[in-house]
Amino acid sequence: MGDSPIVVWFRRDLRLADNPALHAAAKTGQPIIPLFIWSPEEEAAWAPGEASQWWLHHSLTALGKAIEGKGSRLIIRTGPSAATLEKLRSETGATAVYWNRLYEPAIIQRDTQIKKDLKQTDVEVRSFNHALLFEPHQIKNKSGNPFQVFTPFWKNCLTQNEPAEPLPTPAKWTSPSSWPTSDSVDNLQLLPTINWDAAFYDEWTPGEAGAQVQLGDFQQQAMAGYKEDRDWPAVKGTSRLSPHLHFGEIGPRQIWHQLQEVMAGNAQKGLIQGAEFYLREVGWREFAHHLLFHFPHTPEKPLREEFNDFPWRKSAPELRAWQKGQTGYPMVDAGMRQLWQTGWMHNRVRMIVASFLVKDLLLPWQDGARWFWDTLVDADLAGNTLGWQWAGGCGADAAPYFRIFNPVLQGQKFDPAGDYVRKWIPELAELPNDLIHTPWEAKNPVKEYPSPIVDHKKARERALAALAEIKKDAD
């Protein structure tokens, strides 16, 4: 191949460390053209939502600066991926394209075709695993089939060879003699028309450096109490690494090995337990991708076929009230307002608001999945699908549909002093603790806050009747 360039196609692997495609290209000694292609139309209904686009804008900016620090450039192009790669290849004489694999069904199909077409033109194509500890096809049950329950899945994972050590950032790599033209990050128009920038920046630092800081902060400040604190939304007890993982600013192998060092080199029981429990959460991320890979219809349709006939309701006003945090149930509304203002929601609260939508309101889980997709900075197709099908009782390892969270009791249990509610619903700030989750019981109800849009007891009975209906049809 001589001095012909290698195109390293960045996608959701926006980091230099532990980047297998970049590392392999650098080892060849050939010139490297780092490339990012913006082609949301190829991902159809699951193109990045507005909150994710905000993150992508800032993550690409950070990646571009990091690559410039290596004496190179990030080339940005827009348009269909196959045509864009072919055009760049003909412009530069590149004889190889390297990338790191993604696992969404539409992307697998697209990448398979691109790899076939490139090979037919004698272009070397190599793809690598950067996003998962274990490839989805690698983990099988005793019958050779995919798992549908998490615990045996994760036990099987832990019997596999330990994930490889993370790769270092290449010390340097060769650049081409001349650079192809590039678009700018600003011209991609990823920043939403809604002015989220200031509020989001108070919460997040997109980019590889921000991911490493977040992991360090979690390890030092929250990991020792993670086993207990992760359920308390008013406490900063979670890792908050999910958007960094989604955009590949940090990889699971980096987390795995860093936490293995914590467990091996620390006698503090809380840290060891916290590391073990957090690695189990990384395992849930693996499980979500395992399911999406093997059951590609699940972003739109339930895994459990009997739920195809579930008698969902339609109510635009109720859906809107849920989206805007105006249901009259403080724990639900606090979560939905946190989501809108920060692009993120605590995991315990995600379960509460999801249960309220699909069971109290009897609205389709797909409506919730689409809203989360557009408003979460960590919107991930595998994780979003797993979570919403869990809430709807229609997926793998799902909560039984008859398990219906009481939004008042959930608030009283996980936010007993009302700190979380008061932060996100300031109009309720003056209520005493015994009324913070039942403001309608106050002698002088807060005028600025709505009354409950549904009676939970009656809604629960309605949900159970709907479940009985599909059970009867199945019999």
Structure tokens that stand for 279 in this block = 């690695």
- The answer to whether the beta carbons of residues 326 and 428 sit under 8 Å apart is no
Structure tokens that stand for 369 in this block = 């999945």
Judge whether 365 counts as a catalytic residue.
yes
d(CA 389, CA 448): 34
Annotated catalytic residue: which of 43, 86, 124, 312? 312
Write out the DSSP string of 118-163: HHHTT-EEEEE--S-SS-TTT---TTS----SHHHHHHHHTTSPPP
CA distances from 48 to 157, 207, 314 (A): 30, 17, 25
Residue 474 CB coordination number (10 Å): 9
Judge whether 9 counts as a catalytic residue.
no
Structure tokens that stand for 167 in this block = 């790769």
Among 423, 22, 401, 433, smallest CA distance to 248 is for 22
Identify each DSSP E strand in 311-365 by its residue range. none
Judge whether 440 counts as a catalytic residue.
no
Annotated catalytic residue: which of 373, 388, 390, 424? 388
Annotated catalytic residue: which of 42, 86, 135, 281? 281
Length of the chain: 475
CA atoms within 13 A on the CB side of 94: 32
Burial of 432 (0-12, 13-18, 19+ CB in 10 A): exposed
Q: What DSSP designation does 449 have?
A: S
Beta bridge partners of 34: 8
CA distances from 250 to 34, 210, 253, 425 (A): 18, 9, 9, 33
For the chain, the straight-line distance linking the first and the last C-alpha, in angstroms and rounded, comes to 65
d(CA 358, CA 372): 14
Helix (H) or strand (E) holding 368: helix 365-375
Q: Give 131's contacts (C-beta < 8 A, 6+ positions apart).
A: 12, 13, 100, 101, 102, 103, 248, 251, 252, 289
Annotated catalytic residue: which of 256, 365, 373, 424? 365
- The answer to whether the beta carbons of residues 157 and 13 sit under 8 Å apart is no
Judge whether 179 counts as a catalytic residue.
no
Q: Active-site residues: which are they?
A: 281, 284, 312, 347, 365, 388
